[in-house]
Amino acid sequence: MKIVVAYKWAANPQDAEVGPDGTVDWSRAKGAVSEYDPVAFELARVLADTCAGEVVGLTVGAAAIDTPLARKAALSRGLDSLVMVADDALRGADGTRIAAVLAGAVRAIGDVDVVVAGESSVDVGDRQVAMTLAAQLGWAGLNAVRAVTADGGSLVVEREVAGGVETVVAGGPVVLAATADAALPRVPGMKEILGAAKKPTQVLDLAALDVPAPADTIAPVSTARPDTGNRQGVMLDAADLPAAAAQLTAALRQSGVL
């Protein structure tokens, strides 16, 4: 079975700066494997080990995603090989375009049985790239996946649905988006990182993938801090509890809540 892990080399939100007006400055943010993706690596590796499968990592983005550090960070997480599309034409590309390029790369890799992705990316949080990829490929798409096992040629997939768990069987090729806690990802050790440097990486040429230019590009026109409502930020000293309780009821009365 050929398993592709689609992951993102994403800017770390911890390094982003949010201005008082809500503008976000990503210029100092460093790249890393997006926070929810290691779960996908883990699911894919475990699945491959039970069915003598092969795991290929796949990421697309701007030229800067291809560094020795970025390659090792991915290859040390249980991949057999890595495929990248690193082209500045993809800088700031929206989720739909990323999904289209991923689809082109999956076709180029060939004979893929399943693509596993994380729930969403940590920087953009589109929550649609995996399902758009399924649509682009004309494959089935399943999100909220909490477990997957091989059963002969098909996959048994457990999904989290409202109020419970649903089990489905996928026969044909399928794209899966894992929940954030579907597996406990291993932290790569020194031997895995050393081994990573010896595994093959293939860089695909964007032009050769023949992905049609997007009909439209979606870009945010503004960002804003979350609305904190009309909080008044009153703090009561709780050293003397009964007194604090009295102050609280008085304050609630005064503001008309009680």
Least Å from the CB of residue 209 to other proteins: 29
- Region 175-214 residues binding other proteins, contact defined as CB under 8 A: 187-191, 193-194, 197
Q: Which of 21, 30, 228, 229 binds other proteins (CB under 8 A)?
A: 30
Site membership for other proteins, residue 72 (CB under 8 A) = yes
Residue 68 lies near other proteins (rule: CB under 8 A): yes
66: which DSSP letter? -
Q: What DSSP line would sit under 85-130, residue for residue? A: EE-GGGTT--HHHHHHHHHHHHHHH-S--EEEE-SS-SSS--S-HH
Smallest separation, CB 198 to other proteins (Å): 11
E strand or H helix that includes residue 249 = helix 241-254
Candidate ranges 16-24, 150-158, 168-176, 212-220; the one touching other proteins (CB under 8 A): 16-24
CB neighbour list of residue 58: distance below 8 Å, 6 or more residues apart: 4, 5, 6, 7, 82, 83, 84, 102, 105, 106, 109, 115
Tokens of 224: 């804003």
Q: Using the rule CB under 8 A, which residue among 22, 23, 26, 28 binds other proteins? A: 28
Shortest distance in whole angstroms from residue 60 CB to other proteins: 21
Is 122 a binding residue for other proteins by CB under 8 A? The answer is: no
Edge-to-edge strand ranges of the sheet holding 201-203 = 164-170, 154-161, 140-151, 174-178, 114-117, 2-6, 54-61, 81-86, 201-203
Q: Considering the complex, state which of residue 24 and residue 140 has its C-beta at the smaller distance from other proteins.
A: 24
Contact string 32-51 vs other proteins (x = CB under 8 A): x-------------------
Closest distance of CB 18 from other proteins, Å: 10
